[in-house]
Amino acid sequence: MPSRSAAGVRTGVRVVVAGDRGTGKSSLISAAASDAFPEYVPAVLPPTRLPSDFYPDGVPVTIVDTSSSMESRVKLIDELKRADAVVLTYACDQPMTLNRLSSFWLPELRKLEIKAPVIVVGCKLDLRDERQPMNLEQVMAPIMQQFREIETCIECSSATLIQVPDVFYYAQKAVLHPTAPLFDQEKQTLKPRCIRALKRIFMLCDHDMDGALSDAELNEFQVKCFNAPLQPAEIVGVKRVVQERIRGGVSDLGLTLEGFLFLHALFIEKGRLETTWAVLRKFGYNDELKLRDDILPVPTKHAPDQTVELTNEAIDFLRGIFRLYDSDNDGSLQPSEFDDIFVTAPESPWTVDPYVDAAERTPQGNLTINGFLSEWALMTTLDPSYCLANLICIGYGGDPTSALRVTRRRSVDRKKKQTEKNVFHCFVFGPKKSGKSALLNSFIGRPFSSNYTPTNDVRYVANAVEQIGGSQKTLILQEIPEDGVKKLLSNKECLAACDVAVFLYDSSDEYSWKRSRELLLDVARRGEESGYGVPCLLIAAKDDLDPFPMSLQNSARVTQQLGMEAPIPVGVKLRDSKSVFSRIVSAAEHPHLSIPETEKGKKRKRYRRLVNSSLMFVSVGAAVAVVGLAAYRAYAARKNT
């Protein structure tokens, strides 16, 4: 049974109780469920359920008992890996069991890569020797310092029922309102992603955009999050607390961002994490402080050969954002200006692969408007949900459903002999040292380098391409490493998202040509088998070097046999590469042309035509027979009359 609803809201919490034998695990569970000390408990209890009305959050808790015996180790590990929270027990009358937490149990959880929060529980409090008092805080402080996964520590007694319900309340709370995403215990500060989320919430609530929440805005925020207004005296009290603790937290206009962040840090320090989580969840955040999927209306693709693009409305918004943050009006975004755009997003999305270094920049490393929009186009193509989440986080105020659109199927485009797409996805194939990386670098304005660095992973670049007539399309080049082609083509739908494929070869190296031809045939066969054939172009790289013997004749013969254009020649340093990218876009704009046909594919097509013509002949014959029969019956009827 899933522990979350479709909206990402938890529908249950699974707590696993583990610890040494004889530490009181089963008695603790039984006492919590029945509110009475059990006279007899079995060695291991079956799963026990605390109903939704047991605790204020209204979420049921399932408690799983475990055995620490070697025979049950496999089951114990399985249960721990399925846990939302782990309760580790020790016996208050057996100090050795407390030592075992740091010497065995906590390291074991790390070894098993258990990410669930841990509640350390001392059972049998009533049996502790009164002559040996223990300060729990002093004993546990160094352990909690070493093992940050421990959320809290508590001691209880199943016999006297002291703090028994609190054990599973804290376990539930650690799951529903976790500390780790919000607060850095070591630095005693809010975590960066939490600050970014709260900053976005502050800006959304600051309707007059004066940098402070007025009393009215503060009250509106309170009603939205907690369905209850703040009394004037309460607002004064909140401001007083902030003013006393932090300079600049309150201005003449109201509560500042600094004060807003301080309040939430204070809530967390005081153990009121549910307050901050209530705010975050009201504004659509999940446990990872990302926007939940249920508030991201990403349009649905109904076929593999459809893609998702930004609408004109979203592009206009992004152009406005670029102008707004281009503070020095130099037509490019400096790193600091760029970072400011995403200050309310979970993180800056283009600082990691595949987006880092994927777009055009100036010699100073600034992002141009083409580079900015191309990065968004790439993100929309690869991860529409991530793109929409970032759009909303940076302030897209329109209807989220108006930001993205699904393109027409490529198979339909092929039949109609035209396409309505604005973004084209090109696969770049070729053997090692054929010039694939140089082609991608040239596309985003990077200087040519004679140093060879092999590409081991898939790489993307994107840029705008001006076409004849003034139209502009975005082209995404995806470099496919030679070693990755086999794995790519093992997926039947691998070419569905591809609008055009190019095959590079070193025109001075006969092996490079032969290998490129093999890759072309492999892709052509996969296209014929899957029904996702794509326009293909051959690029003869390093054309300014001496070609190998029979180079032109071989390439011309192959392209003629496959029904393709002649190879496009380019020099070593790709100085004339602009026309190459224009040719690639042109091929993508004509999805019915330049699709290579193998001999097997041609035979299959001839066979289909023969079958279709035979069926047509049979259909026509049957129609003639039916008409003739009807005419004869009509004639016979008249004759009888």
Tokens representing residue 445 in the block: 């304005």
Residues whose CB falls within 8 Å of the CB of residue 417, separated by 6 or more in sequence, listed in order: 590, 591, 592
Domain 306-406 in the same topology as domain 189-289: yes
What would the pLDDT profile of 33-61 be if each residue is shown by its tens digit?
999 999 888 989 999 999 999 999 999 99
Give the position of tokens 């190879």: 567
Mean pLDDT of 218-236: 93
φ and ψ at 255, to 5 degrees?
-75, 120
Alpha-carbon distances, residue 366 vs 97, 246, 325, 331, 357 (angstroms) = 59, 37, 13, 9, 11
State the SS3 of 73-139: HHHHHHHHHCCCEEEEEEECCCHHHHHHHHHHHHHHHHHCCCCCCEEEEEECHHHCCCCCCCCHHHH
Residues whose CB falls within 8 Å of the CB of residue 245, separated by 6 or more in sequence, listed in order: 262, 266
**Domain range list for the chain:** 13-176, 189-289, 306-406, 422-450+466-600
User: SS3 for 559?
Assistant: helix
Angle at Cα 331 formed by Cα 326 and Cα 337, nearest 5°? 30
What would the pLDDT profile of 49-94 be if each residue is shown by its tens digit?
999 999 999 999 999 999 989 899 999 999 999 999 999 999 999 9
What would the pLDDT profile of 372-413 be if each residue is shown by its tens digit?
999 999 999 999 999 999 999 999 988 999 999 999 999 999
φ and ψ at 371, to 5 degrees?
-65, -40
Residues whose CB falls within 8 Å of the CB of residue 264, separated by 6 or more in sequence, listed in order: 182, 190, 194, 198, 275, 276, 279
Fold designation for 13-176: Rossmann fold (3.40.50)
pTM of the model as a whole: 0.85
User: SS3 for 425?
Assistant: strand
Do residues 505 and 540 touch, judged by C-beta distance below 8 A?
Answer: yes
Do residues 21 and 32 touch, judged by C-beta distance below 8 A?
Answer: no
> What mean pLDDT is reported for the chain?
90
Give residue 402's identity as a one-letter amino acid code: S
- Of 4-18, 53-67, 122-136, give the lowest mean pLDDT range: 4-18
For residue 375, give the nearest of 445, 496, 498, 474 by alpha carbon. Answer: 474
Q: Is the peptide bond before 354 cis (omega within 30 degrees of 0)?
A: yes
For residue 120, give the nearest of 187, 171, 177, 176 by alpha carbon. Answer: 171
- Class for domain 306-406, per CATH? mainly alpha
Do residues 453 and 491 touch, judged by C-beta distance below 8 A?
Answer: no
pLDDT of amino acid 9? 72
What is the rounded CA–CA span in Å between residue 194 and residue 498?
Answer: 38
E strand segments, 543-608: 568-569
Instruction: State yes or no: pLDDT of 7 exceeds 60.
Output: no
DSSP 8-state class, residue 271: T
Range 422-450+466-600: architecture per CATH: 3-Layer(aba) Sandwich (3.40)
Residues whose CB falls within 8 Å of the CB of residue 56, separated by 6 or more in sequence, listed in order: none
- Of 230-239, 356-365, 453-462, 527-536, give the lowest mean pLDDT range: 453-462
189-289 classified as CATH 1.10.238.10: yes
Do residues 130 and 99 touch, judged by C-beta distance below 8 A?
Answer: no
Tell me the pLDDT band of 1, cut-offs 50, 70 and 90.
very low
Measured between its terminal Cα atoms, the distance across the chain in Å is 77
In terms of phi and psi (left: phi > 0; alpha: psi -120 to 50; beta: otherwise), the region of 469 is left
Do residues 463 and 444 touch, judged by C-beta distance below 8 A?
Answer: yes
What is the rounded CA–CA span in Å between residue 278 and residue 177?
Answer: 9
Give residue 180's identity as a one-letter amino acid code: A
Chain length of the chain: 641
What would the pLDDT profile of 587-621 be if each residue is shown by its tens digit?
999 999 999 998 886 666 655 555 556 555 556 56
Percentage of the residues of the chain whose pLDDT score is greater than 70: 91
Percentage of the residues of the chain whose pLDDT score is greater than 90: 71
185-218 burial, b for 16+ CB within 10 Å, e for fewer?
A: eeeeebbebbbbbbbbbbeebbeeeeebbbeebb
What is the rounded CA–CA span in Å between residue 600 and residue 78?
Answer: 52
Instruction: State yes or no: pLDDT of 191 exceeds 80.
Output: yes
Tokens representing residue 586 in the block: 């042109």
pLDDT of amino acid 544? 74
What is the rounded CA–CA span in Å between residue 620 and residue 617?
Answer: 5
φ and ψ at 289, to 5 degrees?
60, 35
For residue 358, give the nearest of 346, 372, 339, 341 by alpha carbon. Answer: 372
DSSP 8-state class, residue 333: E
Residues whose CB falls within 8 Å of the CB of residue 449, separated by 6 or more in sequence, listed in order: 438, 441
φ and ψ at 85, to 5 degrees?
-145, 150
What would the pLDDT profile of 555-599 be if each residue is shown by its tens digit?
888 888 898 988 998 876 656 677 899 999 999 999 999 999 988
pLDDT of amino acid 172? 96
Give the position of tokens 């088998």: 529
